[in-house]
Amino acid sequence: MEMLWLWRRSLFAVIIVAVGIAARPHRILLDTDVDSDDFFAMLYLLKLNKFQFDLQAVTINTNEWSDGGHSVNHIYDILYMMGRDDIAVGVGGEGGILEDGTIQPNVGGYIPIIDQGRGTAGPCRYRQTIPVGAGGRLYKDTNFGYRKSFLPQGSRRYSPLKQPTAQQVLIEKISYGPISLFVIGAHTNIAIFLMTNPHLKKNIEHIYIMGGGVRSKNPTGGNHGNLYTCFKSNPYAEFNFFGDPFAAYQVIHSGIPVTLVPLDATNTIPITQNFFEEFERNQHTFEAQYVFKTLKMVRDTWFDDKFYENCFMWDSFMSGVSTSIMRNVHKRNGENEFAEMEYMNITVITSNKPYGISDDGSNNLFDGRSVPKFNLTENGVHSGHVQTGIRDPFCLQNNGIGRCKDGYTEKVSGPDSVRVLLATRAKQNRDKNSSLDREFFVSFLNVLNLPQNKGRFNFSSQFPYYKEVVYKPDFEGKKLGKTVVFDMDMSAGDFLALFYLLKVPVDTINLKAILVTPTGWANAATIDVIYDLLHMMGRDDIIVGLGDSFGLNQSDPNNPSVGGCKYLKAIPHGSGGLLDSDTLFGLAHDLPRSPRRYTAENSVEFGAPRNTDHPQLRQPLALEVWKSIVKSTDVGSKITILTNGPLTTLAKIILADANASSIIQDVFIVGGHIGYHRHDKGNVINVPLNIYAEMNMFLDPLAAKVVFDSMLDVTLIPLSMQRKVCVFPHFIKKLDFENKTPEARFSRRLLKRMYQLQQRNHRYQHMDTFLGEILGAVILTTDRQALNPTFQAKPLKVDATGDTSKDGQITVDPEQRKSIKILHKFDHRIMMFLQTGLLMTNNLLSLEASMSKKEFGAHRKVELEIKFRGTGKLIAHSCSGMKRPKVCSSNIIFSYHNCSCQDYH
């Protein structure tokens, strides 16, 4: 049997090579949302004979199943494995669409065209149907945990302002000459290109699309579409077309020949148990192994017991059908090896009848406009109600069957119809004796296992001496300081604060756990950066818990895995926002790779439908970590919490644990803004009507209200105090010495990059916000005499009424039952010395600081002396007149008063 398999593979390779020599290669550009089946399709293309099918570029659609920062690095690593660093990759862009319909260069595709404004922040009317956490974008961003454990790591990665954009790559590759487009995600990128570059349409030979459903019947409910989270409002649409219906309409109606592989065809090629088992037996290349690992985890985490009936070969099947048609280009009716085809007149529904409704608030192309956007026809097919979300009242009906058809590929006739070539059914295997009942199953396994164009290595073969070692410090016999739990939303400032906390001696604080609140500046998959940073610092003992994907009352009441982005829409998806946070401004790749990572491993014990292979690797949740910390805390001991993001996780602890106030000693909150006059503004970007709120409070105002109204002892470190330490050049200068620690070097690179970006591009003007987030860690861990802080106690109220123009604003309200302690003043100059000094110190055991002040006439001179005691060399900061930093031996102090080393004793 094995010999027969190898013979068929070799014969298949010979056929491909022979056919490929006959003509020029077909140039292909792949536009993908980097779902699992998307990279199955990409690997299939990469394995074909390059002299016949030449994949020129990959552009990433960023408003569906994955997030830009994670997906672009995922693609880079796959291409590196396959030895194809020559393939261009485009993602994002900072252009916008103006109110008059003018499309600026480099629109990033983060937002559907109907909602696209000037930047990369915006609503998620269509994307909210896609689960954010487990089962959705978290699984895709991490590829269930296999992205980091399996793929090798090359030199290409996202880098701010250097990463080619999607539109740049499209223009470059299409300008070069004839090319075919493979579209296996939402159509935003391609539609924007076609709308802005009509002169280049002539170079696009054909557009092949996986998406839509014309006469399809979903196996789970008989609906046309597959929006399983949205059937009650829209039972017609398929995910790729629903991701941006107006964009899909533009592509289908572009005048370029279109071949569509819709649900009609893909529903006839479910992943059968026979195929799965045959695949399991035949993994002869790294790419086959990677695909099978992914497919197996899809099966093992499938929500019910009908995986083999309801999981289909979507995008990979489209790649097979399309390349087979291209191979048989001399045949006129799309004849190919894998699917039956027919021509059909269709259109894409972009709005719902009755047309001409222009003032119901749903349709930004018409509402309130005397001239429709893009000069669309009044009362035309785009002028009706446009679905606004999962629970759009217009779409819901009493019979439980949705009435909205946005994204539906409907068979029509008349002037609005387009003739497309459409796949209707997968062909049976010609070999009746085979256990594989579809012809494409054979091709898929053959191609992935071909010795030609195979992957060069995976991570373990790239680094054969790498061992997954867990580093846990031995604190046996040591006196540990107060127990601290750090709650972070993974902004750049949070990682700098984490470095600081890890450098503070354990006899001062004992950092026991990190809780991740993914409702702020980074997506949940960025938890892997935390694991890598802890590994770098030798602290694999610190447990990390993942919080909920939505703020309080922000998920769908019937399905907590999906929901809107009422507040999160304030955060940019592109530069200066999620794209940079998820990659730590392009530097996350430079951290050492931790053996710990997010995985989709799970068990029945925790509510999973079945046990996966390694349930012990399951990612713990934030509330589970909290309970374990409470349980392990000594009787009479208490916990201090530092929170640097939205208060979602802390609020859920309060609501879930009635005894929380008795175990929590105090809470330090970095966030909030108290405006004492009208010029004292907050920092909520992209919500111009909300002038006075601070971002952490705004992102989950209801959670903030729960925390402020609780019985916890809360210290607020408001925005006004954070702004006192927002001086990038001073921080960078203090870190700019020889013999630095790895964490100091990394912090300097991060700070310098953020500062340079702030100077170069207006999208980065808010970088100071992140620098100020370090303050909480310093206030929490430093002796009060050092910083000389003063606090005020005031009764505070957080606005959480649902009005985004006011939510998150804090006011002084005498009627409140309790007062909140507010940091009012501190010596911010010493804070900077403490922060940089700790990062630069090796093997730090203790730290103390003292300050003396002397009056000199009308001026006050501050003489600063910071004492470091350690076991290795300590690096002193520069003083006035010093040309080089002083390096002092262990057990010394460096005095800033006289710039000298002194014996500590």
Please indicate, yes or no, whether residues 528 and 401 belong to a single structural domain of this protein.
no
Check whether 591 has a pLDDT greater than 90: yes
The 10s digit of each residue's pLDDT in 117-176 is 999 999 999 999 999 999 999 999 999 999 999 999 999 999 999 999 999 999 999 999
Q: So what's the pLDDT on residue 88?
A: 98
The 10s digit of each residue's pLDDT in 51-82 is 999 999 999 999 999 999 999 999 999 999 99
- Domain limits for position 517: 482-843
CA-CA distance, 321 to 206, in Å (whole number)?
Answer: 14
Give how many domains the chain has, as a whole number. 2
> DSSP assignment of 94-155, as one string?
BB-B-TTSPBPTTB-SSS-GGG--SSS----TTGGGS-SSTTTHHHHHHGGGHHHHHS---S
CA-CA distance, 69 to 578, in Å (whole number)?
Answer: 7
Q: Which of 822, 843, 864 is the last residue of a domain?
A: 843
Q: Which two tokens stand for residue 311?
A: 């999981």
Check whether 324 has a pLDDT greater than 90: yes
Q: Residue 868 — pLDDT band, cuts 50, 70, 90?
A: very low
Q: Which two tokens stand for residue 300?
A: 């093992």
CA-CA distance, 387 to 234, in Å (whole number)?
Answer: 9
Check whether 330 has a pLDDT greater than 90: no
Please indicate, yes or no, whether residues 392 and 259 belong to a single structural domain of this protein.
yes
H-state helical runs in 225-329: 239-242, 245-252, 263-266, 273-281, 286-300, 307-310, 315-327
Please indicate, yes or no, whether residues 340 and 265 belong to a single structural domain of this protein.
yes
CA-CA distance, 696 to 642, in Å (whole number)?
Answer: 13
Q: Residue 680 — pLDDT band, cuts 50, 70, 90?
A: confident
* Mean pLDDT, residues 84-100 taken together: 96
Cis, bond preceding 354 (omega within 30 deg of 0): yes
Which one, of 772, 732, 773, 727, lies nearest residue 749 by Cα?
732
The 10s digit of each residue's pLDDT in 722-765 is 988 877 676 666 666 645 788 888 998 999 999 999 999 999 99
Q: So what's the pLDDT on residue 12?
A: 53
CA-CA distance, 215 to 655, in Å (whole number)?
Answer: 48
Q: Residue 675 — pLDDT band, cuts 50, 70, 90?
A: confident
CA-CA distance, 106 to 839, in Å (whole number)?
Answer: 39
Taking the alpha carbons at both ends of the chain, their separation in whole angstroms is 79
Please indicate, yes or no, whether residues 231 and 286 belong to a single structural domain of this protein.
yes
Which one, of 491, 506, 590, lies nearest residue 542 by Cα?
506
Q: Which of 812, 843, 874 is the last residue of a domain?
A: 843
Please indicate, yes or no, whether residues 617 and 701 belong to a single structural domain of this protein.
yes
CA-CA distance, 79 to 71, in Å (whole number)?
Answer: 12
Please indicate, yes or no, whether residues 442 and 526 belong to a single structural domain of this protein.
no
Backbone angles phi, psi at 339, to 5 degrees: -145, 150
Q: So what's the pLDDT on residue 331?
A: 78
**Beta bridge pairs of residue 385:** 352
Q: Residue 894 — pLDDT band, cuts 50, 70, 90?
A: very low
| pTM reported for the whole predicted model | 0.90
* Mean pLDDT, residues 540-561 taken together: 94
Please indicate, yes or no, whether residues 455 and 493 belong to a single structural domain of this protein.
no
Please indicate, yes or no, whether residues 89 and 190 belong to a single structural domain of this protein.
yes
Helix (H, G, I), strand (E, B) or coil at 589: helix
Query: Looking at the domain assignment, is residue 145 inside a domain?
Result: yes
Chain-centre distance of CA 777, in angstroms?
26
Residue type, 575: S
Percent of the chain with pLDDT over 90: 74
- DSSP3 helix / strand / coil % (the chain, rounded to 5): 35, 20, 45
> DSSP assignment of 445-464, as one string?
HHHHT-STT-----HHHHST
Cβ neighbour number for residue 416 with a 10 Å cutoff: 15
* Mean pLDDT, residues 183-203 taken together: 97
The 10s digit of each residue's pLDDT in 485-532 is 999 999 999 999 999 999 989 989 999 999 999 999 999 999 999 999
Q: So what's the pLDDT on residue 835?
A: 60
CA-CA distance, 714 to 707, in Å (whole number)?
Answer: 8
Contact 92, 169 (CB under 8 A): no
Check whether 278 has a pLDDT greater than 80: yes
pLDDT, greater one: 595 or 15: 595
CA-CA distance, 348 to 381, in Å (whole number)?
Answer: 10
Q: Which two tokens stand for residue 208?
A: 């092949």
Q: Residue 360 — pLDDT band, cuts 50, 70, 90?
A: confident
Residue type, 713: D
Query: Looking at the domain assignment, is residue 896 inside a domain?
Result: no
Q: Residue 838 — pLDDT band, cuts 50, 70, 90?
A: low
Q: So what's the pLDDT on residue 854?
A: 32
Q: So what's the pLDDT on residue 601?
A: 96
Percent of the chain with pLDDT over 70: 87
Q: So what's the pLDDT on residue 870?
A: 40
Check whether 221 has a pLDDT greater than 80: no
Q: Residue 396 — pLDDT band, cuts 50, 70, 90?
A: very high
Check whether 224 has a pLDDT greater than 90: no
The DSSP letter of residue 25 is P
257: CATH: 3.90.245.10
Which one, of 456, 594, 612, lies nearest residue 134 by Cα?
612
CA-CA distance, 12 to 393, in Å (whole number)?
Answer: 54
Q: Which two tokens stand for residue 785?
A: 């005499």
Q: Which two tokens stand for residue 527?
A: 């938890």
CA-CA distance, 617 to 596, in Å (whole number)?
Answer: 8
> How does the average pLDDT of the chain come out, rounded?
88
* Mean pLDDT, residues 342-366 taken together: 92
CA-CA distance, 615 to 827, in Å (whole number)?
Answer: 49
Identify each DSSP E strand in 622-765 by its residue range.
639-643, 664-670, 714-717
Q: So what's the pLDDT on residue 19?
A: 45
Query: Looking at the domain assignment, is residue 435 inside a domain?
Result: yes
Check whether 898 has a pLDDT greater than 80: no
Q: So what's the pLDDT on residue 578?
A: 97
Please indicate, yes or no, whether residues 552 and 408 belong to a single structural domain of this protein.
no
Q: Which two tokens stand for residue 320?
A: 């097979």
Q: Which residues of 839-849 are buried (b: 16+ CB within 10 A; e: fewer)?
A: bbbbebeebeb
Contact 436, 274 (CB under 8 A): yes
Check whether 865 has a pLDDT greater than 50: no
Tell me the chain's radius of gyration from C-alpha atoms: 29
The 10s digit of each residue's pLDDT in 655-670 is 999 889 899 999 999 9
Q: So what's the pLDDT on residue 899?
A: 41
Query: Looking at the domain assignment, is residue 797 inside a domain?
Result: yes
Q: So what's the pLDDT on residue 725?
A: 81
Q: Which two tokens stand for residue 488?
A: 């972070």
Check whether 890 has a pLDDT greater than 60: no
pLDDT, greater one: 274 or 861: 274
Q: For strand 418-426 and strand 339-348, is the pairing parallel, antiparallel, or unpaired?
A: antiparallel
Check whether 834 has a pLDDT greater than 80: no
Please indicate, yes or no, whether residues 452 and 486 belong to a single structural domain of this protein.
no
Check whether 404 has a pLDDT greater than 50: yes
Contact 211, 188 (CB under 8 A): no
Q: So what's the pLDDT on residue 789?
A: 86
The 10s digit of each residue's pLDDT in 428-452 is 999 999 999 999 999 999 999 999 9
Q: So what's the pLDDT on residue 217?
A: 81
Contact 618, 601 (CB under 8 A): yes
Query: C-alpha angle with apex 92: 498 to 752, nearest 5 degrees?
Result: 40
Please indicate, yes or no, whether residues 240 and 168 belong to a single structural domain of this protein.
yes
Backbone angles phi, psi at 699, to 5 degrees: -65, -25
**Beta bridge pairs of residue 381:** none
Q: Residue 282 — pLDDT band, cuts 50, 70, 90?
A: very high
Check whether 409 has a pLDDT greater than 80: yes
**Helix H or strand E encompassing 421:** strand 418-426
Query: Looking at the domain assignment, is residue 137 inside a domain?
Result: yes
**Beta bridge pairs of residue 892:** 903
State whether the Cα torsion 869-870-873-878 is positive or negative.
Answer: negative
Which one, of 850, 864, 871, lies nearest residue 896 by Cα?
864
Query: Looking at the domain assignment, is residue 178 inside a domain?
Result: yes
The 10s digit of each residue's pLDDT in 491-500 is 999 999 999 9
CA-CA distance, 865 to 617, in Å (whole number)?
Answer: 47
Check whether 318 has a pLDDT greater than 70: yes
Check whether 623 has a pLDDT greater than 80: yes
> DSSP assignment of 464-510, as one string?
TT---PPP----TTPPP-EEEEEEE---HHHHHHHHHHHHS-TTTEE
Q: So what's the pLDDT on residue 279?
A: 97
Q: So what's the pLDDT on residue 727?
A: 72
Among 302-306, 524-528, 683-687, top mean pLDDT goes to 524-528
Q: So what's the pLDDT on residue 853?
A: 31
Query: Looking at the domain assignment, is residue 303 inside a domain?
Result: yes
Query: Looking at the domain assignment, is residue 672 inside a domain?
Result: yes
Please indicate, yes or no, whether residues 429 and 554 belong to a single structural domain of this protein.
no
Query: C-alpha angle with apex 376: 372 to 382, nearest 5 degrees?
Result: 95
Segment 424-429 long-range contacts (CB within 8 Å, at least 24 positions apart): 424/264, 424/265, 424/339, 424/340, 424/341, 424/342, 425/264, 425/265, 425/268, 425/339, 425/340, 426/265, 426/266, 426/268, 426/269, 426/317, 426/338, 426/339, 427/337, 427/338, 427/339, 427/340
Contact 154, 463 (CB under 8 A): no
Q: Residue 193 — pLDDT band, cuts 50, 70, 90?
A: very high
Segment 114-119 long-range contacts (CB within 8 Å, at least 24 positions apart): 114/244, 114/246, 114/363, 114/364, 114/365, 114/386, 115/364, 119/94, 119/572, 119/574, 119/686, 119/763
Query: C-alpha angle with apex 74: 132 to 548, nearest 5 degrees?
Result: 20
pLDDT, greater one: 350 or 772: 350
Q: So what's the pLDDT on residue 816?
A: 85
Range with the poorest average pLDDT among 229-233, 634-638, 824-828: 824-828
Contact 732, 832 (CB under 8 A): no
Q: Residue 893 — pLDDT band, cuts 50, 70, 90?
A: very low
Q: Which of 843, 871, 888 is the last residue of a domain?
A: 843
Token look-up 């019979």 returns 399
**Beta bridge pairs of residue 875:** 887
Check whether 881 has a pLDDT greater than 80: no
CA-CA distance, 490 to 578, in Å (whole number)?
Answer: 10
**Helix H or strand E encompassing 196:** helix 188-196
CA-CA distance, 22 to 119, in Å (whole number)?
Answer: 47
Check whether 577 has a pLDDT greater than 80: yes
